[in-house]
Structure 1
Amino acid sequence: MALDPFGPGRIRDRLQIQDLMYRWCRAVDRLDKQGMLDIFWPGAIDSHGPYIGPAEGLVEWILVRHKPIATSSHFVGNLLIEFASDDVALVETYVRTIQQYPPEAKSQLAQLTGGAAGEPGGAMDMFTSSRYLDRMERRDGEWRIAHRDLIQDWKQIADVKYPALAPKEGWIIGRRDGTDQMQAERKRLGIG
């Protein structure tokens, strides 16, 4: 007999799935290879626009493609979880991204837009509205993604005319090289 979709067991499942989506965003924005891999079952397939294939290849593609991108923020919003069985769920998650591409990353930007990369020589901000459509599976008590389709709804790029962040001494700035303040604090507290 299937569990009540909002009973205590399913609430636990829903929170685990929600946590998985939040951890994906943090891992991709911090370029945390193992964190990204931990979201997918080995051999999971991801259809991510320019990349379609095993999730392990997706992670490698992201690490290379994102290397010159100094800032990346993924925000998740609406998250609808529908259970197909006790151990399979279809999860639709709205995601917004903001990324800044320096002039040397024009080819990476063009990959995601289908060719548009803005004016030569200038930095670009890219804004997206997409949805992750994930088939999640629970195996040995753990939920992970078995298949992901990225549904691209909207993209916009804008010239960066005036970089607004001019940090002063002592300001904490986000990093994507393993030394972000969040990563340092996790280590200090023995988390992860």
Structure 2
Amino acid sequence: MTEAQLAQEFDLAAEVRDLAARRDIAEAAHRYMRGLDRLDAALQRRAFHDDAVVDCGLMQGTVDEFVAFCQDFLGTMEATHHLLGQHRIEVSGETARGEAYFQAWHGVREEGGGVRDLFVAGRYLDEYACRNGEWRITARLLVTDWVKDDPGSLDFFAANPGVVRGGRRGTDPSQIGARS
């Protein structure tokens, strides 16, 4: 094999490792978001390494404290829907840094029984590490870019009782029958 062929083969291997890292980091982000919306603490927790630290503005602490906070806080809401946007990742060996845009809808029940639509949009500024072959988050800073709080309505669901709705804590149609 020529020197040029060896260099090309090496570059291809490096590119495959980079692409695999990006895929695995994106999967960690997906586990996190799904864990929030389905109120699945174990799934949310699997996005982070054990020594991870998180600052979401409303609390700062260890990953276990953060997961408990999220599950309790979001559990008081009727439903949530978190959506990832563009995700920029810079891989450097076994570590990486990234910025992921998000938008999150929160169905909030008012004290008087009414509902509100609370939208939060921002970015996750994350640090990642690959340990034991698994990419996960080691540090997260949640940056809030905008918030919108509007009166909500459940009229659509009342008028369409046959609509399949998302569920939480194991009741979502995607989780029934061991689909997850």
TM-score, L = length of structure 1: 0.81
* Structure 1 residues 54-93: aligned runs within 5 Å: 54-83=62-91, 85-93=92-100
For the Cα contact (< 8 Å) 2:118–2:149, is it kept in 1? Answer: yes
What secondary structure, in the 3-state scheme, does the structure 2 residue paired with 1:42 have? Answer: strand
For the Cα contact (< 8 Å) 1:3–1:9, is it kept in 2? Answer: no
Which residue pairs with 1:140 in the alignment? 132
Which residue pairs with 1:11 in the alignment? 19
What secondary structure, in the 3-state scheme, does the structure 2 residue paired with 1:176 have? Answer: coil
CA RMSD of aligned residues (A): 2.3
What secondary structure, in the 3-state scheme, does the structure 2 residue paired with 1:15 have? Answer: helix
Which residue pairs with 1:36 in the alignment? 44
Shift of 1:122: 3.0
**Distance (Å, rounded) in 2 between the aligned partners of 1:74 and 1:94:** 11
Structure 1 residue identity aligned to 2:26? Q
Q: Relative to 1, partners in 2 of residues 1:126 and 1:3: Cα closer, same or farther, differing over 3 Å?
A: farther
**Distance (Å, rounded) in 2 between the aligned partners of 1:58 and 1:125:** 23
For the Cα contact (< 8 Å) 2:31–2:46, is it kept in 1? Answer: no
Structure 2 residue identity aligned to 1:62? C
**Distance (Å, rounded) in 2 between the aligned partners of 1:56 and 1:7:** 34
TM-score, L = length of structure 2: 0.86
What secondary structure, in the 3-state scheme, does the structure 2 residue paired with 1:177 have? Answer: coil
What secondary structure, in the 3-state scheme, does the structure 2 residue paired with 1:101 have? Answer: strand
**Distance (Å, rounded) in 1 between the aligned partners of 2:11 and 2:109:** 49
**Identity percentage of aligned residues:** 28
Structure 1 residue identity aligned to 2:114? G
* Structure 1 residues 1-192: aligned runs within 5 Å: 7-83=15-91, 85-104=92-111, 122-161=114-153, 163-166=155-158, 168=160, 170-185=162-177, 187=178
Shift of 1:66: 1.5
**Distance (Å, rounded) in 2 between the aligned partners of 1:20 and 1:5:** 23
For the Cα contact (< 8 Å) 2:55–2:140, is it kept in 1? Answer: yes
Q: Relative to 1, partners in 2 of residues 1:175 and 1:161: Cα closer, same or farther, differing over 3 Å?
A: closer
Structure 1 residue identity aligned to 2:100? T
Which has the higher Rg, Structure 1 or Structure 2? 2
- How many residue pairs match? The answer is 171
